Chains A and B, each alone.
Chain A
């Protein structure tokens, strides 16, 4: 009896102690944690994705910064950052949030508008006129500049010189063309070489966004809210082009990123119209060195459309928590104004910023052997300045889901007017 009592007491006690110890070992070293106290923290944290690109750029900026700053750069996948920010900001507790965060331009407005006081305006820390105008619209709200524009998503038409030559085309024939002309060439290439012209993911209408931005249009009007699908002339053209491509039978379908990359790495497609950030993925296939070049992206056959557009691209934001001034000063002194830093950025990281004064630098003129000796950076940088500015608004991806479904109906033969009218109605009811 005594023995059992003894066991009962010591056993349970031991168990409790072990459990508490285990949990305590997992708790924080200091009870203070990060924010809320209002005190200036010693450490500034930054969240970004892609170790070879954004993270590398931040590391470079840290080295280039002359002040003494304890900057901790934390790597997270982009979707993970979106998830973490949304959870943290909607909980209303700013605890655990970073000082600096990278946000994709097309998502930025939804963060700025959904969490009005969460971000710190940084317009006073750099000269906004130094940056490409198309980067400023999505990164500001109500006349206040919140984002420091980082990489451009300027698009180009990457193409296989050997395939095009075999079909009888030169770079000249691909320069400053319309999508209609592109489709014509595509049919020819398919007939003469047997290679597909392009690889597309039916669920990702990125190419549609590239097309409409080249004409200065978007899924929403300039206020960023009013859904603009039904009488959107550029969008109609884009739909027609998309269908023409599918019907021309030169589209190699892919269902995810790895298949997309495989399509050009394995030499199955002749062109890749995409943001400039695709270049390293193309260059990964060493056996194709010297077989690629980049032409300007085709434009829509409309007045005012230009041979320049945007896909992706992101900017840095400062959260409105203690340490914000330090963080903003750091961004302003590096990404905001340091020309020499931008040369290193191009050379070491291959990241192309949108800071106009940097474009005359030496690094931008360098010839790229992989792309047949073309001065790729200089070309991209030139096209960057022509990109029409649009307000991406809050709902780009929500509207695109609707459009992706309606696109399938359109491809099956539904009338284009009906397709866009239905999409408009759906979007309006869903986004109220």
Chain B
């Protein structure tokens, strides 16, 4: 009986994992095939890998796009974490009148779809002198303050022992000192989890970079891939190679931080 149950469990899990792995497998296999074979649905590895990669690096400036995406993602992640955690910490630790009302308003802002604020934002950046349209800074700035991360850090701060704050104050640590020297090191797992989410969001962000970045040398990876698929006769082998390369950094970030990620997410649920 118990064995039967086990078999059932493993069968189900195997099927589920095949279903979720299949797209990745298909992506990797397609990377080695000619476009014609990809559209025909060939599932066996082919011999066209080097040709695809060569064609990819010949036709588009993959290097520049990777550098741009990396700059944007790293700075965005750093600033998002800094601002989000400072705000989340502040909301949880300090007692201010009307604090919860402000926080609720902030949460409400999560309901507004980005498309709704895109046009005003574009107008705003059109009027800025140094961070204007077609700068990487303009691609970064609107994405660094998000209600989600403030919420995330506030939830996580609930687990943080308030006594440590008291202890820090008694020992004469400044408020920022407490944050940077006590809070930050103890909340490492939360930061790791948030870093993965922020990095992935930024890496895959499409709509805002699309409208705000104009010149080819500012292009990010998702924009480049979108261009590749736009022709009347798209080369699917080449597109798959680009997608594999674009997926690698997020995969690496995830695997490096996986342990912390799980711990951090557990924390936010428990809180």
Q: Report A's interface with B, CB cutoff 8 A.
A: 1, 4-5, 7-8, 11-12, 15, 19, 22-28, 31, 33, 45, 49-53, 72, 74-80, 83-84, 87-88, 90-93, 95-96, 98, 257-259, 261-262, 265-266, 277-278, 280-281, 284-285
Contact = CB atoms under 8 A, between A and B. Distances in A.
4 A-B pairs with least C-beta separation: A77-B230, A26-B136, A93-B126, A262-B39
Contacts of A259: 39
Contacts of A24: 130, 137
A180 to B, nearest CB: 30
Which secondary structure dominates chain B's binding surface? helix
B130 A8 contact: no
Nearest to B176: A8
A80 B135 contact: no
B79 interface: yes
B172 interface: yes
Nearest to B68: A26
A33 B215 CA distance: 12
11 contacts: A4-B177, A7-B180, A27-B130, A27-B131, A52-B231, A80-B227, A87-B118, A96-B214, A262-B39, A262-B41, A281-B233
A285 B38 CA distance: 12
Interface string B28-48: 000000011011110000000
A285 B36 contact: yes
Interface of B: 35-36, 38-41, 59, 71-72, 75, 78-79, 82, 118-120, 122-123, 126-127, 129-137, 139-141, 172-174, 176-177, 180-181, 207, 210-212, 214-216, 223, 226-227, 229-234, 236
A80 B209 CA distance: 11
Given A27-B131, A28-B135, A93-B127, 13 more contacts: A4-B177, A8-B174, A19-B78, A27-B130, A33-B132, A45-B214, A80-B210, A80-B226, A87-B122, A88-B211, A92-B123, A261-B233, A262-B41
B57 to A, nearest CB: 14
Contacts of A277: 232
Contact of A26 (B41, B140, B172, B176): B140
Nearest to A267: B40
Contacts of B214: 45, 74, 84, 96, 98
B39 A93 contact: no
